[in-house]
Amino acid sequence: MKLGIIGLPQCGKTTLFNVLTGGKKTTTYHIRGGSQVQIHTAVVDVPDHRVDWLSQHYCPKKTTYAKITFQDISSVETNQGAFSPTLLHALSQVQGFVHVVRTFQEQSVANPLTPMDATTAISTIQNEFVLNDMITVERKLQGLKLEWSKGGGRDRITIEREQRLFTHLKTALEDGQSLIEHELSVEDSRLLSGFGLLTRKPMLLILNSDEEESNPEKILDPEVVLTYKQNILIFMGKLEMEIAQLDDKDAALFRKEYSISEPGLTRVIKRAYEMLGLHSFFTVSEDEVRAWPLRYGFSAIKAAGTIHSDMQAGFIRSEVMPFANLQQLGSEASMKSSGKWRLEGKNYVVQEGDILRIRFSPPAQKQV
């Protein structure tokens, strides 16, 4: 799963990237000239106290947290029009966005917006995304028109169906709407998944502030708060970056002094993970304790496929132990004696925190 960190110039994208990844990429205090796309990429662990507990309990050779990839993607600017192919490609490859919105006031840091206003910053990016989706959709419609008039290729019913869908999307975009707001059939969603449409992707807003504030309504217009609902976080970027570069003991002291209950990293990663519709299930053995990301509502057989395609193909059943019960009862033996250990079939919907042990028949060895 990959998330793109975006925002207007000088809003604190690289600062956030450094907080999330423990990195030390250079932050700037001026707006860079030109629109050369600069991308920093890092894979980070999703912090999870349950993995820590399981690791202590099973003492495996290896402990693996679920992972999420963050990319700091610079050069989304105001009034840019069509994005460059490099920028559009980078943006289309991520599964969601973390949009950093500058709410800190710092005279020495250049600002593309005067007066500086968070709601305007959000609508600016939104408009740029809508415009670029419009270009993609129009290009597709032109291609379909050509295909239809030439004939000889795909059947006309399919082409006309696609024409109807893309015309419908175009109308929505002309109204300034994000395509994520549109309910689409599973088939239409699948068709669109290859187009990398920007406004189809979920977006987490990070209000980058110098002040401790927990109410987004004090910063944003109420409609924006309503649109993004739980996908808004207030974050003290600069302070968090300074803390992230301290050792654990000093960082804990600092956080206490500033009444920061949970590291920014944990808050952002957890929220991003939720925004992508993911939860974790676990596998445990002497070799490895591991957390795996899975979409809410996915079944045991899909979970098996996340681990290995052979497990999916040869799936028989899955042993299931809810983490909370194991933590409470303390051992697999107690889980079994108290009926908390279960066997489930392939359609079982995996629950947040389930520990799975997949029973499967390995594929037959190929004869050489």
- Measuring CA to CA, how many Å separate 337 from each of 297, 318, 332, 340, 343? 29, 18, 9, 8, 14
How many residues bind to ligand GTP according to rule CB under 6 A?
Answer: 21
d(CA 143, CA 195): 13
- Segment near ligand GTP (CB under 6 A), from 4-12, 47-55, 306-314, 316-324? 4-12
When asked if residue 211 is in the footprint of ligand GTP (CB under 6 A), the reply is no
Q: Rule CB under 6 A: which of 237-256 touch ligand GTP?
A: 237-238
Identify the H or E element spanning 356. Answer: strand 354-360
Phi-psi region of 79 (alpha: psi -120 to 50; beta: other; left: phi over 0): left
d(CA 100, CA 354): 33
When asked if residue 126 is in the footprint of ligand GTP (CB under 6 A), the reply is no
When asked if residue 40 is in the footprint of ligand GTP (CB under 6 A), the reply is no
Contact with ligand GTP (CB under 6 A) among 138, 210, 262, 287 = 210
Q: Which is nearer to Mg ion, 14 or 208 (CB)?
A: 14
**What is the full DSSP assignment across 259-270?**
T--S-HHHHHHH
Those residues whose C-beta lies under 8 Å from the C-beta of residue 150, and which sit 6 or more positions away, are none
- Segment near ligand GTP (CB under 6 A), from 2-10, 63-71, 293-301, 331-339? 2-10
Those residues whose C-beta lies under 8 Å from the C-beta of residue 343, and which sit 6 or more positions away, are 317, 318, 319, 320
When asked if residue 71 is in the footprint of ligand GTP (CB under 6 A), the reply is no
When asked if residue 122 is in the footprint of ligand GTP (CB under 6 A), the reply is no
Which tokens hold the place of 73? 């993607």
When asked if residue 14 is in the footprint of Mg ion (CB under 5 A), the reply is yes
Q: Which is nearer to ligand GTP, 7 or 96 (CB)?
A: 7
Those residues whose C-beta lies under 8 Å from the C-beta of residue 206, and which sit 6 or more positions away, are 16, 98, 99, 100, 101, 233, 234, 235, 237, 268
When asked if residue 299 is in the footprint of Mg ion (CB under 5 A), the reply is no
When asked if residue 104 is in the footprint of ligand GTP (CB under 6 A), the reply is yes
- Segment near ligand GTP (CB under 6 A), from 24-32, 119-127, 178-186, 276-284? 24-32
Residues that bind ligand GTP (CB under 6 A): 7, 9-15, 27-29, 32, 74, 104, 106, 109, 208, 210, 236-238
Residues that bind Mg ion (CB under 5 A): 13-14, 74
